[in-house]
Amino acid sequence: MTRAMTLDQGVTWVVLPTVNEVASIVHMIERVSQALAEEPHELCIVDDDSTDGTVENVMAYRDAHPEARIRLIQRRKEHWGSQRGAAVLSGLKAGLEGPADVFVEMDADLSHLPEELKVGLNLVRSGRTDVAIASKYLPGSSVLRRPWSRRLISRVANLWVRTFLRWRVSDYSNGYRFYSRAAARKLCGEPIRFGSPIYLSEGLARLMSAGMRVAEFPSTYVGRDEGLSKLRPIDLVKAAIAIFPIALRFHLLRKRRENLPR
C-alpha cells in the first residue's frame, strides 16, 4: 500500500478470482482502479493455476505501476471444476486482516462493470444493507452478448433457487456482490460446502439466516464467450440437488434465530 489506511477513510477491498484471464485482467485492473481512484482501495487477485500468462501479466503491471494497490494470491486447485467460491473466501480472509470496511467480489473477465462499483459501495456504507447484489433481473437491468440459451438456463436456475430460499431476492447467481465487514466475517466463518456455482446461493443463504440484510440494484451483465459448450451439465445437476440441504439449513437456522428470546 502506498499510504496508511484507517476505517474512517472507507477502505474498499476488491476480490478478483482468476483462471486464465490473460485477455482481460489488465483492462479489469485499470477500470477498477479508475472507478475507485478517489478513495482508498486495494485489489486482491486470487489466481487458481492459470497457465495462459495471467499471473505474469498481473506481476508485470504491478511492477510497472508501483502506485497500484494490488495483492496477488496464487492457489493450487485441489480438484477439477469450479473453485470460485474457495478463491473468493481466500481473498475475503486476506482482506479481513486489514482495515477494509467494504468487501467486493466480481468476475475478472469484464462481465461485471467496474463503473457500477460506487452504487454497491454506497448501499453498504449508507448502513441500509449488509449485502448488496448487482442484479441481472431487476427493472432497469440489462444482459448483453449472452446467448438466449444461457439466459434461459440462468432464469430457470434462479427461479428454482428462489422457490426454496427467499423469493424477494431476484438474483442468486450473480457473483458481483458487496459485503460489510460483519458480512464478510460471517461468510468466512465456516467453509463453503459446495464447489459448483451453487456456492453463491449457499453463501447468501448463510448470511440471510444470520439476519444479514440484503439489497439489490439494477446492473448490466456482459456475456463473455458463454455458449452452451462452456456449461458443465454436472454443475447444473449438482446445483439442483444441493439447493435442498442449503434451503433446509437456511430455514432451520432462520427459525431458530427468530425463536431466540429478545
C-alpha cell at 29: 485492473
Specify whether the CB–CB gap between 202 and 117 falls below 8 A.
Answer: no
pLDDT number for residue 254: 87
| Residue 259 belongs to a domain | no
Using pLDDT thresholds of 50, 70 and 90, give the confidence band for residue 233.
confident
| Residue 260 belongs to a domain | no
Using pLDDT thresholds of 50, 70 and 90, give the confidence band for residue 240.
confident
Q: What percent of the chain has a predicted confidence (pLDDT) above 70?
A: 90
Indicate which CATH number applies to the domain containing 124: 3.90.550.10
Domain of 78, in residue numbers: 7-254
Nearest to 121 by CA among 99, 140, 105, 138: 105
The rounded mean pLDDT for the chain is 89
Over 80: is that where the pLDDT of 231 sits? no
| Residue 181 belongs to a domain | yes
Specify whether the CB–CB gap between 215 and 133 falls below 8 A.
Answer: yes
In terms of residues, how long is the chain?
262
Cα separation of 247 and 226, whole Å? 28
Using pLDDT thresholds of 50, 70 and 90, give the confidence band for residue 239.
confident
Using pLDDT thresholds of 50, 70 and 90, give the confidence band for residue 191.
confident
pLDDT number for residue 8: 47
Specify whether the CB–CB gap between 107 and 156 falls below 8 A.
Answer: no
Using pLDDT thresholds of 50, 70 and 90, give the confidence band for residue 228.
very low
More confident residue, 196 or 208: 208
Q: Which of 32-41, 83-92, 93-102, 170-179 has the lowest mean pLDDT?
A: 83-92
C-alpha cell at 216: 439489490
| Residue 236 belongs to a domain | yes
Cα separation of 53 and 258, whole Å? 50
| Residue 184 belongs to a domain | yes
CA angle 169/172/176 to nearest 5° reads: 110
What distance, in Å, lies between the first and last C-alpha atoms of the chain? 43
Q: What percent of the chain has a predicted confidence (pLDDT) above 90?
A: 73
Distance of CA 65 to the CA centre of its chain: 26
pLDDT number for residue 193: 85
The DSSP code sequence of 176-218 is: -EEEEHHHHHHHTTS--S--STTHHHHHHHHHHHTT--EEEEE
pLDDT number for residue 190: 83
| Residue 219 belongs to a domain | yes
| Residue 2 belongs to a domain | no
pLDDT number for residue 84: 83
pLDDT number for residue 261: 75
Using pLDDT thresholds of 50, 70 and 90, give the confidence band for residue 6.
very low
pLDDT number for residue 226: 56
Specify whether the CB–CB gap between 106 and 119 falls below 8 A.
Answer: no
pLDDT in tens, 45-82: 999 989 999 999 999 999 999 889 999 999 986 655 55
pLDDT in tens, 83-100: 788 899 999 999 999 999
| Residue 262 belongs to a domain | no
Count of structural domains, the chain = 1
Specify whether the CB–CB gap between 116 and 36 falls below 8 A.
Answer: no
Over 80: is that where the pLDDT of 213 sits? yes
